[in-house]
A and B are shown apart, each in its own frame.
Chain A
Amino acid sequence: MTQTDVGTDVSGRVIVLSDLQNDLVAGGVSVPRGLTVIAPPQEFDPNKVPPVPGALPPPYPDGARLFTYDDQWQPSDLPPEAGPIVAAYTPGVTT
């Protein structure tokens, strides 16, 4: 599955998706089929620092797209009103 033309570019963003989803719901944006992020395959980097348990996840790589699913389970853009909330999202800060 590739979503090169669906969703919002979140390259380099640090996002806890479940927190962002909570922010969206708090802002009145319904995403009944959740949030999903995928990115193009990355080259293996043996020097990459492993994630720290309990810490924030690493930034998403280049080309990462944030999207939801429509009622046919096809990848779909987030509602337009989600844009400002996604843009303002800061990990660890709840609205």
Chain B
Amino acid sequence: MARQNATNFSGGLQFPYATAATDLFKKEDVQTLALAVDQHDHSAGKGLLLPNGAFADNTLNGSKLIDGTVTSAKIADGTIVAADLAADAVTQWVTYEAIATFSSTVTGSYVPTPVTLPALMTTGGRLQLWCSFALAHSAGPGALVRAAIMRDGSAVAALSIYHNAAVNQVIPCSFVFSDLPAAGAHTYTLALYNVTAGTMSLDGGTTASMIATEFKR
């Protein structure tokens, strides 16, 4: 037989060793071996790489992983659950749901109603807004009212409502639209525009509602 070199160590740590009693033995072999043992960390050229089975279950924690290196391929499909997501991480929403008292004779301008959402701090995602209410008009059939959703005081969507009902008969109204505001705090308000002279009113027996949901991803 003949002396061989270690295969799992390299460079200055690659120690030779005898494979037969008649092989040459040098004290330098022990010196190199001692150095290899001292510096072995199971990385390439410094000992055997550790296989998965070298680690007992539940012995590594997340701090052993480099930040930002776990990608989708490392996550089993269908395993992420809602609790893994921070609150409002994917969507967030605000709502107004109340009996709103509002009457106005103002014509020729949008008038903000009390149907106003709390300020929503958006992240630049698309918003879906739902709004429903019931409207009456003192002029009865043929009266025209426009409803609008105002973002920070400016109309961003509108709905024309022909009040073809009896005087002060309430008619249900609803609309849905999407908005894409810049990231930041925004306030949405239902506003009514009285085209026909008379009194437009939100029904005091109907829950007016507005819901804004931001889809962040």
A residues with a Cβ closer than 8 A to B are 1-2, 15-18, 21, 33-45, 48-51, 53-58, 60-61, 64, 69, 73
In Å, the complex CA distance between A37 and B201 comes to 9
- Determine which of A16, A34, A43 lies in contact with B107 in the assembled complex, contact meaning CB atoms within 8 Å: A34
Contact flag A48-B204 (CB < 8 Å), given A1-B114, A18-B197, A42-B98: yes
Query: How many angstroms from the CA of A74 to the CA of B197 in the assembled complex?
Result: 21
Count A-B contacts at CB 8 Å: 105
Whether the Cβ atoms of A51 and B203 lie closer than 8 Å is yes
| Residues in chain B near residue A21, CB distance under 8 A | 105
| Interface size, chain B (Cβ < 8 Å) | 35
Chain B residues proximal to chain A, CB less than 8 Å: 98-107, 109, 111-114, 116, 136, 138, 140, 165-170, 189, 194, 197-199, 201, 203-205, 207
Chain A residues near B169 (CB, 8 Å)? 51, 53-54
Identify whether the interface residues of A are mostly helix, strand, loop, or mixed.
loop
Please determine whether B101 and A1 come into contact, CB atoms closer than 8 angstroms.
no
Q: Which residue of B lies closest to A44 (CB)?
A: B207
Tell me the nearest residue of chain A to B139, going by C-beta. A18
A60 touches B138 (CB 8 A): no
A-B contact pairs, 29 of them (CB 8 A): A1-B189, A2-B114, A16-B199, A18-B105, A18-B198, A18-B199, A34-B104, A35-B103, A36-B105, A36-B106, A40-B101, A41-B99, A42-B99, A42-B100, A42-B101, A42-B204, A44-B98, A48-B204, A49-B205, A50-B205, A51-B170, A51-B203, A53-B165, A54-B169, A55-B168, A57-B136, A57-B168, A57-B201, A58-B204
**A54 is contacted by which of B101, B114, B166, B189 (Cβ under 8 Å)?**
B166
